[in-house]
Amino acid sequence: NNILKKEINQKNKKEQLLIWDPRLIERGSFLILTRIKFIKKINRLAHKFHQKITKEKENIELTYQSNILKDQEENISLINKEFKDKLEEHRVKEIEQRITLLGPHRDDFSVYINGFNISSYGSQGQQRTAVLSLKLSELELIKEKEGVYPIFFLDDVMSELDEDRRHFLLGLIIDKKVQTFITSINLDYFNSNIKEKSRIFKIEEGKIINL
């Protein structure tokens, strides 16, 4: 972006950009490949959790939205080539607009439930359930890498889940012995078994009360 914004002629800009292209392609391609592999791994876990939470009524799928790749390549050489081709294809337009038009920083991912994009068509409950499936998947990935589960924070999620989904989530947390902090304004969401195995705090007028 700094080179593109400079007040120099197009020929000099192009020459400077060509110097940086190899490093940009190398680092950018590595980042794209890492994301593709991560999405593939978290997809597998999220699918499993989402099936359990929804009693097999919903399928979740994450897709990586790359502005460089046509297909989800896992070959670094092919990613390098497509990246290089795209840079050359957009070179003149980038110089004219003085901004980068492609690269991994412009990529994104989408979440689909039963084939529908959840950001456009998902209910609040479906969106919250999808987030939970992804967060539970993150827990497993961190456990796989570090050997222990991280501390889990859930901010007022119970009010947006039905009883079955609340029961599954809390049961899973207990079974896996994950240290979890849950905020809620309604203790009725938690059964006696959960309450017995938990420490409950109430915040009242800025003070923390141990119940």
pLDDT tens, position by position, 79-129? 999 999 998 888 878 767 777 788 898 999 999 999 999 989 888 888 989
Domain boundaries, the chain: 2-123
pLDDT, residue 61, reads 96
Domain 2-123 sits in CATH at 1.20.1050.90
Distances (CA, A) of 194 to 89, 175, 182, 191: 59, 11, 12, 5
Q: Please determine, for residue 13, whether its predicted confidence score (pLDDT) is greater than 60.
A: yes
Residue 74 — very low, low, confident or very high, per pLDDT cuts 50/70/90?
A: confident
pLDDT, residue 5, reads 53
Q: Please determine, for residue 49, whether its predicted confidence score (pLDDT) is greater than 90.
A: yes
| Both structure tokens of 51 | 């099936």
| Residue 197 DSSP one-character state | T
Other beta carbons within 10 angstroms of residue 206's beta carbon come to 5
8 Å CB contact between 39 and 64? yes
74-83, 84-93, 127-136, 145-154, range with the lowest pLDDT: 84-93
- Determine phi and psi for 152, rounding to 5 degrees: -110, 130
The predicted model gives 54-83 an average pLDDT of 91
Beta bridge partners of 201: 210
Q: Is residue 159 within a helix (H) or strand (E), and if so which, with residue range?
A: none
pLDDT, residue 18, reads 73
**Which has more confidence, 36 or 157?**
36
Other beta carbons within 10 angstroms of residue 172's beta carbon come to 16
